[in-house]
């Protein structure tokens, strides 16, 4: 918020320099960002009046001027400016003058003619050219205000360049401070002064009565619409003092009517708009939502596409403006406008913010309407604008006010305990001191009991809701620097990790011990990632959490799988010619609130390299499970997962629960990422693994009796899974099978087409005696019989 110190002094008596004042404001919660002194580098520049202009005898592009600067003699200055004429008042830098940028002016000669000074342009005085008329940009700055000037007067006093502009950083809970009166209120309480509100009185000089009919069809988006009508309007430039204040606040002057609405907005915080009555046409204002897909040309000449959620100001037949954002091109104030309507309205802040964002159009008005505005502010602003129109002779205000409000403002009240606030802040304010601070902040205090204070909150303080807010008000005005410093009290406890956190640490340590490096990526990702890994349209992975205010399309959803992130990291390494990579990431995946709002922990492993294949990845996964207490999992082939290569993918299940998927990434997915290597990825549901893991350690004595080993080679169909063979062997071992290990898989010409040879080593052992062939044979035969019955497996003949 840019604040002119000279303007601010109209509302509060300030005897401090700008920097000291800014520091005091910072200490009471209104932080000063910067202080800029206009005209600080300007000296010995005065008002001059051009008395005579002659041609230069030796230069066609130069002229010799005789300028009255209030001295006994006229000053002769040579210039090349083309936009000056006799009797113009202009800024003159005399001998020894200094200008912004460290420029010093000295007397000299131009093409043999004495030149005792310099006529100044706006740029040379440090005035931004975007705020001045076009004809002044390429020449001398001509003082064309209504009054004549005293030659020799300091130009800083004439142009208001002896001011300081303070940039205040406002917190989001204080929209009431985004105006001069808001800052003035804070300045008054900071300096222990009284604020001087402008005395507002409207004469209503016109004999006519206002006859505008206003209806609100969207009361949930428009809380009130107030209007006044002005006739006999004269469009001209606003007075220089108003233009200067607008410029210092970062607003470009346009004409007297528009400048008044902007001035009132900066003064009160209430955005306003002036409509040309010719464009309203039927004397009707209808506030309603736009039609889906309609277009509208705003004041900046841009065509905007509307949707049904946007609130519009209309005359019932056509659009006049986007409510709270910007008016329409056709309804703007024109040079021949003679009758206007002033609008001061209350809009739904959330709707204004969404509309502004959708249209890509953020204005001074929308930035203020995005926060709540008090109804009393809307009333005051309308009257203030009407008053200024009369004071400046810009028109005659009609009798009567349109006041269409959908609900009446309710006074906000709150009850607080001063003793509790004193105890929390560590101070001992008396009740009188307590109430004195609050009254300076314009609260109405009513003492109900010794420790019960009833407060009526000022209408503009819409951020005050509870006692904690009063804590802050007392603390900042009393002075944070005056609060006592004390040691923290209370019991401290040692922070420890939960069992789940310890389990996750164990998983990470196991992954690291397998030679993997940990990677970290963002949880908010692009929806294109699901397309790149070929997720079907009906997959649950596409039920994603969408961000309401994303940084961009690439970070617009919360991830539902870690695989796209892992492939992004693998691509980065592959593109930098890293030959071998082994990575893991532990992180969260998300599902929407309507699907129970789950936040699950996953572990994703990604690998590629010369000696890396499916079984390398499987070994890493098994090692992680083994070290973290998971036993008894099974591997089931998976062919429906389109992210992975068909026939090279498996799900890991425990009972009826799927706990992981691993396999080789599909070639088309690799093409989508620009990866030209075989990549192997696993994604593990850590939450489920944690619930199934058992880290209980059971010690068993070393076996006393020798083992019997039998090797078998089975001929089975190619689609028979090894896990099924393992299960049959172990379940039919009658307690004698200690282990069974696969040691060979063979496919070849000696095996029939569609078959494979599976070789196992089975170890039999009893804890009670030494086994003989008589003991082992029936068990072994039983296993072979079950394998043949259930899987069609037969002993391979040599």
Asked whether the beta carbons of 386 and 230 are under 8 A apart, the reply is: yes
How many Cα atoms occupy the beta-carbon half-sphere of 560 within 13 Å?
21
- Using alpha carbons, select from 287, 336, 337, 295 the residue that is nearest to residue 314: 287
Element (H, E) at 48: strand 43-55
Per-residue CA distances from 350 to 327, 366, 368, 370, 404 (Å): 19, 11, 12, 6, 21
Residue ranges for the known binding site are 463, 469, 472-473
- CA 135 centroid distance within chain: 41
- Using alpha carbons, select from 374, 362, 393, 402 the residue that is nearest to residue 260: 393
- How many CB atoms within 10 Å of residue 149? 16
The residues, ordered by sequence, that sit 6+ positions from 102 with a Cβ below 8 Å of its Cβ are 41
The residues, ordered by sequence, that sit 6+ positions from 653 with a Cβ below 8 Å of its Cβ are 633, 634, 636, 659
Asked whether the beta carbons of 208 and 256 are under 8 A apart, the reply is: no
Asked whether the beta carbons of 87 and 57 are under 8 A apart, the reply is: no
The residues, ordered by sequence, that sit 6+ positions from 612 with a Cβ below 8 Å of its Cβ are 580, 582, 678, 680
How many residues belong to the chain? 798
Buried b / exposed e over 289-327, threshold 16 CB at 10 Å, is bbeeeeebebbeeeebebeeebbbbbbeeebbbbbbbbb
Asked whether the beta carbons of 513 and 626 are under 8 A apart, the reply is: no
Asked whether the beta carbons of 539 and 642 are under 8 A apart, the reply is: no
- CA dist., res. 547 & res. 550, Å (int): 5
Bridging pattern class, strands 213-216 and 284-289: parallel
Q: Which pair of structure tokens corresponds to residue 258?
A: 């528009």
Asked whether the beta carbons of 696 and 769 are under 8 A apart, the reply is: no
Q: Which pair of structure tokens corresponds to residue 198?
A: 């402008």
N-term to C-term CA, the chain: 92
Give helix 418-425 / helix 431-440 axis angle, nearest 10°: 90
Residue ranges for the known binding site for Mg(2+) are 463, 469, 472-473
What are the start-end ranges of the E strands in 385-486? Answer: 396-397, 402-405, 413-416, 444-449, 452-456
- CA dist., res. 565 & res. 572, Å (int): 11
Instruction: Please state the φ and ψ torsions of residue 54, each to the nearest 5 degrees.
Output: -125, 155
- CA dist., res. 115 & res. 76, Å (int): 6
Asked whether the beta carbons of 247 and 128 are under 8 A apart, the reply is: yes
- CA dist., res. 533 & res. 502, Å (int): 32
DSSP 108-119: EEETTEEE-SEE
Asked whether the beta carbons of 375 and 224 are under 8 A apart, the reply is: yes
- How many CB atoms within 10 Å of residue 20? 12
Asked whether the beta carbons of 325 and 361 are under 8 A apart, the reply is: yes
What residues pair up with 604 in beta bridges, in sequence order?
Answer: 585, 683
- CA dist., res. 51 & res. 33, Å (int): 46
The residues, ordered by sequence, that sit 6+ positions from 60 with a Cβ below 8 Å of its Cβ are none
Asked whether the beta carbons of 238 and 253 are under 8 A apart, the reply is: yes
The DSSP letter of residue 429 is -
């Amino acid at each position: 918020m840019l604040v002119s110190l000279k303007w601010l002094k109209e509302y509060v008596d300030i005897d401090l320099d700008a920097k000291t004042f800014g520091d005091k404001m910072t200490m009471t919660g209104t932080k000063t960002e910067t202080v800029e002194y206009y005209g600080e580098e300007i000296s010995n520049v005065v008002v001059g009046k051009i008395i005579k202009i002659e041609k230069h005898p030796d230069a066609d592009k130069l002229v010799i001027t005789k300028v009255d600067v209030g001295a006994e003699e006229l000053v002769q200055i040579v210039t090349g400016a083309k936009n000056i004429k006799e009797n113009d008042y202009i800024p003159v830098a005399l001998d020894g003058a200094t200008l912004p940028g460290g420029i010093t002016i000295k007397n000299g000669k131009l093409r043999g003619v004495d030149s005792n000074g310099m006529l100044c342009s706006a740029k040379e005085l440090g005035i931004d050219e975007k705020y001045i008329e076009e004809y002044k940009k390429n020449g001398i700055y001509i003082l064309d205000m209504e009054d004549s000037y005293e030659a020799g007067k300091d130009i800083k006093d004439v142009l208001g360049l002896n001011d300081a502009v303070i940039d205040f950083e406002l917190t989001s809970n204080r929209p009431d401070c985004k105006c001069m009166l808001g800052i003035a209120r804070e300045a008054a309480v900071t300096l222990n002064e009284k604020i001087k509100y402008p005395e507002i009185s409207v004469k209503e000089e016109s004999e006519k009565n206002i006859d505008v009919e206003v209806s609100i069809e969207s009361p949930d988006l428009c809380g009130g619409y107030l209007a006044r009508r002005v006739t006999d309007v004269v469009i001209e430039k606003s007075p220089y003092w108003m233009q200067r204040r607008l410029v210092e606040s970062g607003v470009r002057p346009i004409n007297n009517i528009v400048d008044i609405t902007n001035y009132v907005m900066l003064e009160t915080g209430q955005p306003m708009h002036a409509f040309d009555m010719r464009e309203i046409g039927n004397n009707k204002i209808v506030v309603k939502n736009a039609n889906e897909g309609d277009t509208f040309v705003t004041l900046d000449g841009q065509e905007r596409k509307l949707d049904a959620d946007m609130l519009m100001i209309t005359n019932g037949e056509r659009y006049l403006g986007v409510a709270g954002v910007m008016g329409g091109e056709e309804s703007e104030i024109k040079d021949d406008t003679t009758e206007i309507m002033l609008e001061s309205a209350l809009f739904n802040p959330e709707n204004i913010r969404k509309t502004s964002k959708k249209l890509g159009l953020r204005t001074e008005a929308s930035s203020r309407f995005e926060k709540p505005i008090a109804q009393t502010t809307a009333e005051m602003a309308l009257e203030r604008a009407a008053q200024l129109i009369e004071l400046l002779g810009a028109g005659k205000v009609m009798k009567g006010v349109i006041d269409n409000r959908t609900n009446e403002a309710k006074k906000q009240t709150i009850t607080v305990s001063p003793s509790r606030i004193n105890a929390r802040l560590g101070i001992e304010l008396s009740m009188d001191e307590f109430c004195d601070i609050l009254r300076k902040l314009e609260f109405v205090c009513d003492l109900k009991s010794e420790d019960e204070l009833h407060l009526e909150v000022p209408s503009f303080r819409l951020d005050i809701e509870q006692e904690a807010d009063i804590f802050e008000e007392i603390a900042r005005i009393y002075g944070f620097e005056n609060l006592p410093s004390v040691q923290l009290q209370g019991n401290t406890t040692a922070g420890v990790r939960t069992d789940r956190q310890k389990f996750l640490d164990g998983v990470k340590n196991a992954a690291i011990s397998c030679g993997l490096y940990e990677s970290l990526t963002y949880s908010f990702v692009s929806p294109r990632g699901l397309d790149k890994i070929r997720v079907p349209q009906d997959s649950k992975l596409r039920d994603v959490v969408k961000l309401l205010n994303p940084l961009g399309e690439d970070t617009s959803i919360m991830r539902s799988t870690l695989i796209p992130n892992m492939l992004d990291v693998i691509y980065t390494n592959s593109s930098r010619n890293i030959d071998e990579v082994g990575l893991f990431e532990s992180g969260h995946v998300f599902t929407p609130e309507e699907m129970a709002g789950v936040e699950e922990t996953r572990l994703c492993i990604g690998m590629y390299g010369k000696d890396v294949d499916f079984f390398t990845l499987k070994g890493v996964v098994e090692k992680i499970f083994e070290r973290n207490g998971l036993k008894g999992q099974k591997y089931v082939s998976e062919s429906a997962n389109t992210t992975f290569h068909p026939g090279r993918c498996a799900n890991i299940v425990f009972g009826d629960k799927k706990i992981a998927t691993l396999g080789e990434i599909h070639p088309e997915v690799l093409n989508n990422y620009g990866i030209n290597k075989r990549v192997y990825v696993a994604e593990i549901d850590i939450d489920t693994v944690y619930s199934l893991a058992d880290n209980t350690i059971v010690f068993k004595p070393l076996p006393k009796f020798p083992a019997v080993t039998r090797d078998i080679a089975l001929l089975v169909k190619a689609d028979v899974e090894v896990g099924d063979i393992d299960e049959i062997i172990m379940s039919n071992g009658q307690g004698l099978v200690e282990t069974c290990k696969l040691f060979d898989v063979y496919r070849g010409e000696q095996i029939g087409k569609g078959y494979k040879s599976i070789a196992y080593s089975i170890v039999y052992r009893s804890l009670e005696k030494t086994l003989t062939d008589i003991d082992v044979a029936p068990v072994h035969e039983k296993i072979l019989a079950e394998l043949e019955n259930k899987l069609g497996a037969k002993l391979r003949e040599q």
